[in-house]
Structure 1
Amino acid sequence: MTHTLTLVATITAQAGQQTAVEGHLRTLVAASREEAACIQYDLHQQQDAPHVFIMIEQWRDAAALAEHKETAHYQAFSTTCGPLLQGVELKLMNKIA
């Protein structure tokens, strides 16, 4: 049985880079939502720490997420935004109910 794959990413911008990171993330969201296997791709900003962003993603399966990581828009985000980040924490989950 194939389960929907959920990814929760906590993305922390370096000091002074919050606005730039948000712009890159918004671009990534728009492009990623166009992918056929994307079920959900929502960006949130932490209220008490606005330099921390939370991305909640749902993909058809693990293969779809792997394909996402190979897209031009994901690669562009990684290249341009990577140096602006303090860190990224990923949590992968299977939706079971």
Structure 2
Amino acid sequence: MPEMAAFIEKLRSVFGNESVDDALRRGKAGEPTFYACENGHAVGTASLANDNVWRVSADIRDRQYCTGCDGGCVGQGVGCKEWLQRKAGKENL
């Protein structure tokens, strides 16, 4: 699992060995604190499947959360800046 090992090393540099080792140990012991799967090899305990989830669409991912935006641009196919310009144009009519 070379990619996962590299990722874990990055986690160690940010969170420290103790914190990462604790998550790994608990995941291997059956708690859903750590789970990795690469090339058919799995380590740890996967989280339970949850049917009550909200999937984020590209509309949310592409938002820039501009100052003054009320979220009205979501689902409109335009970014915050263009949405704010359109909104300002309608208010000036």
Which structure is higher in helix share?
Answer: 2
Which structure is higher in strand share?
Answer: 1
Relative contact order, higher structure (CA 8 A, sep 6+): 1
Structure of greater Rg: 2
TM-score computed with the length of structure 1 as normaliser: 0.24
TM-score computed with the length of structure 2 as normaliser: 0.25
